[in-house]
Amino acid sequence: MQMIKNTLKRMNVTQSEFANAIGVSRPTLDAYIDQFQKTGHIIKDEYNQIFINLFASAEISYQEFHEKLQMVVCDKKRENNINTCALDDNAEEYIYRVQKAMISDMLEGDWDEKIYYYILLTISNYKNDEIFREYARYVADLNTEWHEEITSTDKQYYSFFHKNLGSLFSRKPEFDQKEFDDFLKQKEILRKQKEERKETVRQETNKELMDKIKEIQKKYEDMGKEASKNEIIDCIVGRGMYQ
């Protein structure tokens, strides 16, 4: 166990701190350390990968060690905060791979927030927005072999995307003022549509909220009381007597 213990000592990490970081008990950690140093392998793949990343090289730097350990801690928090029990193995694996890739990218620094916002937009909209879905599928099919048939809808969009974007693979695009102006106009249209949707939600919510307030006030009046502001708020958020 001495090599791993020496590495932890050099990194100013106690064995108890390391056990907590990777989510195991001290006896389990001792067993893993013994197993890894005897065989270079841990039977449980998740922890085998952690040990390989952290202890395979005796020359690992202080900064690299702590960056990798921080990724492990983040992964453990993910497992605790995200309930994936209802998902199949493939879905669970994608959650793990995507989050791990994102954390790794952010730790490198200089990460692009717009890329992550685009990822969120795609995940949030692809089931209801054909353009989001088909563009994502186009990029995926362009870069990877998939064991599924390309649909007729896919073919329509793929041919369009390739016609309009295919030249980007061979040359850098030139600036087009008219097209850029059209882009800004479309952006403004989408912004207004988003604000209109938000306003509709606000109006509908306000109406439902006012109806709920009237209902609460009526129930208090029936008891010969007048509901205070705090009592109304408590009832609305589920803490009061009329939930």
**Mean pLDDT, 10 residues at a time, over the chain (243 residues)?**
82 89 87 88 85 86 88 74 72 84 88 93 92 92 85 93 86 89 93 92 89 87 84 70 44
Distance CA 191, CA 47 (A): 47
In a domain, 198, yes or no: yes
Distance CA 85, CA 93 (A): 12
Q: How confident is the model at residue 111, as a pLDDT?
A: 92
In a domain, 89, yes or no: no
Its domain, for residue 68, covers 1-79
End residue of a domain, out of 32, 62, 79: 79
End residue of a domain, out of 37, 61, 79: 79
Q: CB-based contacts of 152: which residues, under 8 Å, 6+ apart? A: none
CA torsion, ordered 27, 31, 37, 42, to nearest 10 deg:
-130
Summarize the chain as % helix, strand, coil (round to 5): 75, 0, 25
Q: What is the domain count for the chain?
A: 3
Contact at 8 Å (CB) between 1 and 34? yes
Q: How confident is the model at residue 55, as a pLDDT?
A: 87
End residue of a domain, out of 127, 155, 173: 173
Whether this prediction's pTM lies above 0.85 is answered by no
- 89 to 84, 86, 95, 101: CA distances (angstroms): 9, 10, 10, 18
Q: How confident is the model at residue 85, as a pLDDT?
A: 66
